[in-house]
Structure 1
Amino acid sequence: MLHQLASIPRRRTYLLVLLLLAFHPGAKPQTFQNFIRQLTLASASAEKDTLVARYVLRHGAPVVESTSVHFIYRGSGKTAAVPSEINGWHPFSSPMVHAEGTNFFWRTDTLPIDARIEYKLWIDSNWILDPLNPRRAKGGFGENSELRMSGYRESTADREDPKTERGAIDTLSIESAILHRRYPVYVYTPSGYTEGMLLPSIYVTDGGDYLTLGRMDIILNSLIGEKRIQPLVAVLVDPRTDPKSPSSNQRMIDYAASDAFLDFLENEVTPFIQKNYRVSPNRRDRLIMGASMGGLISTYAVLRREGFFANSAAQSPAYWQADSAVIKLLDRIKQTGGAFYIQTGTIHDTQVEARLVSRLLREKGGKVTFEEFHEGHNWTNWRSKLDRILTHFFPYP
């Protein structure tokens, strides 16, 4: 064996020893910096390929080291980048380094230790999911690859327990004389919904997405079943005149500080709900909520219709939209007695405007709960925070 090692050039002997040590049962995980150093020292393509193959097999992707994350790609392509929530999904601002003599690319970024983001790879101008990362996150524009830093902790409220009693969902359609179109509406009623006391209600914008991507019915089943919140009725209003047709989505019109949409909720949807379901008519038992543009209209609804909506929850609210209507309205009004729950991510999300609106609401007398999370503008973020909103407004007595 010694004779065989002696016949191998010194550089190759060094690399062979490193590889043997790396895969020894008691070996510590190799740092990314050391791996890149070894890759640079290797001269032959076969040696480089072996180093890359074994590193990828051992570490997977992305590679997280404390607050550093190393995105890696191994495959065909001349150029590679990592468009993500870190860089606003701009591939030209996130190029990967190509390791010479290999088909290996890498890029290092820094994130808070409890962060979670979504990303894709951009290979020769083609958008792809990370083939080395099995984690996926579904969103309004399809799937993305998902990165979780070591300190990230996910909510378990959306995990379906077969032992939990399920509520029911009625699929309705309401013809609006105000908006001149028919609206899909989904109504959730809790398990055990029978004649008796009147229940609080939630009016949810982007209702179809909150069911499919937000898993709201499963979260409600879980929280009600565990007696973390009181039973309630959820009215999920969908902005698509045809739920199967994305082009029929009216959210950019209806949620852009539209008083006509608020008229629709107050004068057409709510009377129908109160006639056909056991919901409390008290405005303090009524919450309106939504994400992004839905967060904008939810805050706007309480400011404009405080006699009807007393509570709102906004997730990553797009307050800069509609010509900053919410901010301008807050400049005009003297005070508000509403309760506002505002959540935002800190990674290319709505943090700046959300902080500003939260401060203005407090100055006007509003009861504000404000939270920031090291995440981006996506449905996994919003879904995982729903339990915090629901337990805040509807705690179990």
Structure 2
Amino acid sequence: MNRKVTFNGWLMLALLLGFQALAQTPPRQPTPNDTLKSPKVLTDNRVAIQIYAPKASEVIVSGDFLGGAKPLTLTKDANGVWSVTVGPLKPDYYTYTLMVDGVRTMDPKNPVIKQGISSLENVMALPGAETVFEDNRPVPHGELRQVWYQSNTLGMARRMHVYTPPGYEKGTTKYPVFYLLHGGGDDDSGWPTVGRAGFILDNLLAAGQAKPMIVVMPNGSMPLPPSTGMPDQTTMQKMRALFADELVKEVMPYVEKNYRTQTNRESRAIAGLSMGGFQTLDLTLSRPELFNYVGVFSSGFFGPTIDEAETKYASVLKDPGFNKNKKLFWIEIGKDDFVMDANKKTLALLDKHQIKYQYKETAGGHTWTNWRQYLNEYVPLLFR
């Protein structure tokens, strides 16, 4: 018997049986999910958030568009579509999360997400005149890279994002460097995604409002030791020291070796939001020789750390040369920010030791809506 012929015969039979089974399968019935859109921008800057979940018993949504208010409950219609309309909202970029029967759920109709160290959030855009500074506009764009490196400090591979200005690849110019730090719960993807950092830089450069620079966005979230609860004060101190070592021994040398950078203090800036602002304060007051430009967004020395700060940074706080070597020490926070108390205590400590800084309070709270604005205000002040 010809084995090849036999095999081909069996293959044809299998295909025929498969086609017959497929033909006998009833056609898929359409559902409301096929045409559902979410989020859906309506008139008057209102937004409908929707999800098809016919078997769910409760769906709620939380997000920074609520301004700290309680999550909203969605209403289910006869077709199994849950929906809620929010707003009117100020044009901006917002994050939100759905909870379906107690399970954190991404909006399946919205592919735009913000990544964190332990969770994801959806991002929705509400365009308008207020978002021009952070939009993807028809201007020359820089390159935003995901850069992997081996960290000897942490004994593992780590990632950072690096922005290079338009024309970097074709030139020979050396650039100043701005280290931009994210907040707690995020990683190095926070500023490039919902933070809109690349587009903000592109637009400022195109308008001639900022000096060309390299922007380094490292991962400031350190790997925590196994724990069953919130890290204690000793652990937090170790994490701060670990991040400082990671930045100084790993990130900065890698950047200065692999990119065309100016490596003096006058050509280095740093800024961070929330946890990143705390890390910025720590680096500024423990390694004052590194950065001439400092930005602290929505932050301060939290809790017991304000008591240890005066002792830990005593030599720098008492150094009469500190102010001379800081061209900019910028602090900004929203009036409704929940870390305002820590911020005020930090300002009092700096005032006590006659540390000069520029301070600004804005509307709003602890949100990306503020931090994108702060970045847009801070960058034009650098390397002047």
Q: What is the deviation of 1:374? A: 2.0
* Equivalent-residue separation in structure 2 for 1:302 and 1:380 (angstroms): 26
Q: Offset at 1:255?
A: 8.7
Structure 1 match to 2:194: 213
Runs (5+) with no aligned partner, structure 2: 1-41, 48-55, 74-83, 85-89, 182-186, 224-230
Residues 302 and 272 of structure 1: is their aligned pair in 2 closer, same or farther, counting only changes over 3 Å? same
Matched-pair identity in %: 24
Which amino acid is the alignment partner of residue 247 of structure 2?
Answer: L
What's the CA shift for 1:382?
A: 1.3
Matched, 1:371 2:360: yes
Which residue does 2:305 correspond to in 1?
325
Number of residues of Structure 1 aligned to a counterpart in Structure 2 = 310
1:341 aligns with 2:321: no
The one-letter amino acid paired with 1:329 is A
Which of 373, 379, 383 matches 2:372? 383
Asked whether the equivalents of residues 188 and 217 of structure 1 are also in contact (C-alpha less than 8 Å), the reply is: yes
- Distance (whole Å) between structure 2 residues aligned to residue 304 and residue 241 of structure 1: 19
The whole-number CA distance in structure 1 between the counterparts of 2:350 and 2:98 is 40
Distance in 2, Cα, partners of 1:162 & 1:348 = 34
> What's the CA shift string for 1:147-176, capped at 9, x where partnerless?
99xxx9835222122232433536232322
Distance 1:263 1:326, change over 3 A: farther
Alpha-carbon spacing, 1:154–1:370, altered in 2? closer, same or farther (3 Å): farther
When residues 126 and 238 of structure 1 are mapped into structure 2, their CA distance, relative to the original with a 3 A threshold, is: closer
Instruction: Say yes or no: does 1:175 pair with 2:151.
Output: yes
Correspondence for 1:3 = none
Provide the residue aligned with 2:207 in structure 1: 226
TM-score by length of 1: 0.59
1:160 aligned to which of 131, 136, 155: 136
Match of 1:285 in 2: 267
**Change in 2 beyond 3 A, CA 1:278/1:327:** farther
Distance verdict in 2 for CA 1:374–1:365, change over 3 Å: same
Report what 1:28 is aligned to.
Answer: none
The match for 1:262 is 244
State the shift of 1:365 in Å: 3.1
Secondary structure (helix, strand or coil) at the match of 2:132 reads coil
State the alpha-carbon separation in 2 of the partners of residues 318 and 349 from structure 1.
11
Shift in Å, 1:241: 8.7
How far, CA to CA, are the matches of 1:84 and 1:127 in structure 2?
13
1:352 aligned to 341, 345, 351, which one?
Answer: 341
The equivalent position to 1:190 in structure 2, one of 165, 176, 181, is: 165
Aligned mates of 1:168, 1:143 — CA distance in 2: 21
Contact kept? 1:347, 1:374, Cα under 8 Å: yes
Larger mean CA deviation between 278-287 and 308-317 belongs to: 308-317
> Under a length normalisation based on structure 2, what TM-score does the superposition of the two structures give?
0.60
8 Å Cα contact 2:91/2:131 also seen in 1: no
CA deviation digits over 1:41-67, x for unaligned, max 9?
A: xxxxxxxxxxxxxxxx997859xxxxx
Alignment equivalent of 2:217, drawn from 228, 236, 243: 236
- Segments of 5+ residues of structure 1 without an aligned counterpart are 1-56, 63-76, 96-105, 107-112, 243-249
Q: Distance in 2 between matches of 1:60 and 1:167?
A: 32
